[in-house]
Structure 1
Amino acid sequence: MNTELSPPKLFVRTVPLRDRADSLVQRLPAGTPLAWLTGDDGIVGWGEATRLDPAPQPEGTPPTDTTRFVEATAWVHGLLEHAEVEDEVNLPGTGLVTFGTFTFTPTSRGSALIVPRVVVGRREGRTWLTTVTDEPGAHPEELLRPHSAPRPVGPVEWRPGSLTREEWMGAVAGTVERIRAGELEKAVLARDSFAEADSPIDVRVLLERLRTRFPACFTFSVGGMVGATPELLLRREGDQLTSLVLAGTRPRGEDAGADHQLGQEMLASAKDIEEHGLAVDSLRTALEPLAEELVVPAWPHLLKLANVQHLATRAHARLAPGVSALDAVAALHPTAAVGGTPTGTAMRLIAEVEGMDRGGYAGPVGWLDGAGNSEWGIALRCAHVDGSRARLYAGGGIVAGSDPASEVAEAESKFRVMREALTDPGA
């Protein structure tokens, strides 16, 4: 892999396209597509102009180490210094765009920043094309030719993950005991499972299924991480930053009455309100040093998705001068919604009891452009796709009132997102 720390000279051109109102996924070739989509809008990319793969830190490095974010920030700054950009559209997501994925812990492999050769984007009815070349005036014709049609996944064999259902329930029960003993307040525990297809999985199929079923989520594909996350770590436009905290989950009801009752039960649940409050507190603590203004609502609202509903709090901030999007990403990760409270204690417990390396699961995933605009989500409801194999992840927040059987049920409801994406209609 290319891990160059001295960025190359890049020539970037963004021009408007006639908006055909088709799915951006249809523009993608097979292989390793890059994508960040919300409904019909977003950006997709392919080819590789340059990339950075931050090296994992040595075992024993503190779990809150930010070296990979610092390295990424310096690398992106170097790209911008060397690039020549011609942008006829000037919207968030135009010009020099970098897609990124960061691992949950600093000692894991899998963090990557990728500048594609081609980007197609759409925002509010406007569509554009960006090309990135190594020479002025060059045009990547071979990357703009018509692409093959997406291929169905085909038969899939489902395999158990690192821990059995019973082992994971035991890990939850042990975590509850440690919380009640005062060792920590909350820990987020995750599970994995595996899917094996007969041939390489066409990520474009997964992206289209995910974005149409979950149009309010952020459907992504970066560095092998593919999913549809409801959790916006941050959106930055100018000096304005927005973040969405999700913690507390219930399934959707079978009818409107049952759905309403489930949501109201969650709003009245001491366990869910406590879990959500800890996540909000961690966001406030992380953003206050970076913001000149910070507004955090006092009470959560319900966010209803296709398969589950969450307690949600949307925070707004005006960043201080000189604070970049990646500075904010480094400060916010890991949130209490994916790690726990206190952060260091929870991260050590996760490493001890989960029985797996999360890789990019629950890490930041998203994009940034040369003007400082960006969107970063938390890689949830996702899988790591490698050839014909997909590793699925799901988890939930554990507090003093957690019940192991309920936590398993919650994780299963979250697994369903990627299991259905990997299942062909009629299979």
Structure 2
Amino acid sequence: MIEVKEKQFTVELEAAVQSVQTDQKNKLFSYTEKINQVNLYRFLEKAGILELPRTFWSSATEAFQLAGAGHAFELSAEASRYRYDQVEQEWNALLDDAVIYNPYHTSGTGVVALGGFSFDPLKPQTKLWENFPESHFSIPSYILTHADGKYYLTINRLIHTAETYSSVLEELQNNRQALMDNMEIPLNSSGLRIQSKQEIAPDLWKETIKKATDVMKKTAVDKIVLAREVRLHFNQSANIPDILNRLVNTQPNSYVFGYEMGEDCFLGATPERLVKVKDDEVLSTCLAGTAPRGDTIEEDEQIANNLFQDPKNREEHDYVVQMIRSTMEAYCTDIMVPDEPVVHQYKTLQHLYTPVRAKLKENHRIFSIISGLHPTPALGGTPRRDALAFIRDNELLDRGWYGAPIGWMDSNNHGEFAVALRSALIQKDEASLFAGCGIVEDSVPESEYEETKIKLMPMLSVLGVD
């Protein structure tokens, strides 16, 4: 068992219980300590054995990972355009009363909430996403943080007025021991294989593209993003920690996420950051314009150069950059945008990339930026309202959390959200994969279909396709 500073923990817990009983008000107790190196995937595996819901986040650009077990507290909001405000109000109210012991103030320590939103709160939910609300955030009961080469364990517990110190202490000690003992045992490898793959109505999807291009020829709509679904059947139930481990190892420069609700888990490896906030520093990135990798260095460089020089991709990219800048102007100062993009290369794809940096104004938080950015033209289209209306009425699937903001925030006023692309909804021995592309007036349905096949490959390869 990983030893803890038992005396400090018991002192802080006893003070928290006393505070709850004195004020006669339930409060969240949060305790963070530095620990020795541990295997986050083994931790997730043990959480699964204990039937605790699991959460996971791995940053694309730095050695930063979060692994959560259980729900100490849950935040949610109704399906409306005010859902960001509702979640933020719940979050602030929780922190106002929380009893927090965290001497480190490292990103991802203290009270940490992980979660996300649906793509479109006005789209009727289907049975596929029945376990995922329009918005949901979990403050895990136990969370491991790997940051700057160090490891931390945070214990979160909502203490109720009728509870005693001794009963809470016994519960937390037993659960901590069950999760943290025998961490040196290697992670189980699943041997997962895909037995069948079903593309959901590909011909109808191509017809929807034709319908979209017809609309654009007659109206002021410039772009509509359309997504499609592929359904997989496996030889056994999926091993979530093993999949997340493989995504991290095979998809460098991507944000790897996992969010478990009931028996379903939404996970993926997305290259697209939506926004990062650290104190008052804000970073958003535009990743619009896509091409495959080449088979040789020369071919790779030629494809990258063609992508950089392509007028259609550059125009689409610049539109997203200007939209991000416009959103930042409402909530930020000192906005900095490079004059032109660069090409960022990933394992199977390459994209045009532009970072946008700024300073957050007082009285604004990460949700202010998210509400202004989502959905970007790369995920919805332009103009936003008209494109979303077409998607809502004509797209052949319920996107659920696909293409929507997913990420984390903490009590240190740090947080980061990505766009949930290159993703799958895992349901025991089945899964739905999603991929989309931007449709413009001269789009060719067959070419767009081939582009989605490329975008599906990173997830397919991890799930059992060569």
TM-score for the superposition, normalised by structure 2: 0.83
1:321 to 355, 362, 368: 362
Q: Distance in 1 between matches of 2:182 and 2:359?
A: 43
Q: Which runs of 5+ in 2 are unaligned?
A: 1-24, 126-131, 160-164
Q: CA deviation at 1:378?
A: 0.4
Which secondary structure does the structure 1 equivalent of 2:27 belong to?
coil
Q: 2:328 maps to what in 1?
A: 287
Q: 2:44 maps to what in 1?
A: 28
**Alpha-carbon displacement from aligned partner over 1:298-320 (angstroms, at most 9, x marks no partner):** 31110100010001111001011
Q: 1:3 maps to what in 2?
A: none
1:51 to 71, 74, 78: 74
Work out whether residues 186 and 275 of structure 1, in 8 Å CA contact, stay in contact via their aligned partners in 2.
no
Paired residue type of 2:433: L
Paired residue type of 1:213: T
Paired residue type of 1:158: S
Q: Distance in 2 between matches of 1:350 and 1:298?
A: 32
Paired residue type of 1:335: T
Which secondary structure does the structure 1 equivalent of 2:399 belong to?
coil
Q: CA deviation at 1:161?
A: 4.3
Moved more, 132-141 or 323-332: 132-141
Work out whether residues 302 and 310 of structure 1, in 8 Å CA contact, stay in contact via their aligned partners in 2.
yes
Say if 2:144 is the partner of 1:144. no
Say if 2:394 is the partner of 1:356. no
Q: 1:134 maps to what in 2?
A: 158
Q: 2:92 maps to what in 1?
A: 77
Work out whether residues 252 and 347 of structure 2, in 8 Å CA contact, stay in contact via their aligned partners in 1.
no
Give the length in aligned residue pairs. Answer: 408
Q: 1:62 maps to what in 2?
A: none
Q: Distance in 1 between matches of 2:189 and 2:396?
A: 34
Q: Distance in 1 between matches of 2:191 and 2:325?
A: 42
Q: Distance in 1 between matches of 2:426 and 2:33?
A: 32
Q: 2:201 maps to what in 1?
A: 163
Work out whether residues 56 and 257 of structure 2, in 8 Å CA contact, stay in contact via their aligned partners in 1.
yes
Cα root mean square deviation, aligned: 2.0
Q: Distance in 1 between matches of 2:364 and 2:191?
A: 43
Q: 1:203 maps to what in 2?
A: 240
Say if 2:209 is the partner of 1:172. yes
Moved more, 23-32 or 104-113: 23-32
Structure number with higher helix proportion: 2
Q: Distance in 2 between matches of 1:181 and 1:265?
A: 30
Q: CA deviation at 1:146?
A: 4.0
Paired residue type of 1:37: S
**Alpha-carbon displacement from aligned partner over 1:178-219 (angstroms, at most 9, x marks no partner):** 223333011111111111224331211110111111121110
Paired residue type of 2:66: I
Paired residue type of 1:78: A
Say if 2:116 is the partner of 1:101. yes
Work out whether residues 236 and 325 of structure 1, in 8 Å CA contact, stay in contact via their aligned partners in 2.
yes
- The share of aligned pairs that are identical, in percent, is 28
Q: CA deviation at 1:144?
A: 3.1
Say if 2:399 is the partner of 1:383. no
Work out whether residues 252 and 346 of structure 2, in 8 Å CA contact, stay in contact via their aligned partners in 1.
no
Say if 2:447 is the partner of 1:421. no
Q: 1:4 maps to what in 2?
A: none
Q: CA deviation at 1:50?
A: 1.5
Q: Which runs of 5+ in 1 are unaligned?
A: 1-6, 58-64
Q: CA deviation at 1:103?
A: 0.4
Q: CA deviation at 1:340?
A: 0.8
Work out whether residues 283 and 357 of structure 2, in 8 Å CA contact, stay in contact via their aligned partners in 1.
yes
Which secondary structure does the structure 1 equivalent of 2:432 belong to?
strand
Which secondary structure does the structure 1 equivalent of 2:301 belong to?
helix
Q: Distance in 2 between matches of 1:197 and 1:125?
A: 36
Q: 1:182 maps to what in 2?
A: 219
Paired residue type of 1:313: T
Which secondary structure does the structure 2 equivalent of 1:285 belong to?
helix
Q: CA deviation at 1:331?
A: 1.5
Which secondary structure does the structure 1 equivalent of 2:339 belong to?
coil
Work out whether residues 14 and 86 of structure 1, in 8 Å CA contact, stay in contact via their aligned partners in 2.
yes
Q: CA deviation at 1:88?
A: 2.5
Q: Distance in 2 between matches of 1:105 and 1:8?
A: 33
Which of the pair has more CA radius of gyration?
2
Moved more, 204-213 or 35-44: 35-44
Q: Distance in 2 between matches of 1:99 and 1:303?
A: 27
Work out whether residues 269 and 423 of structure 2, in 8 Å CA contact, stay in contact via their aligned partners in 1.
yes
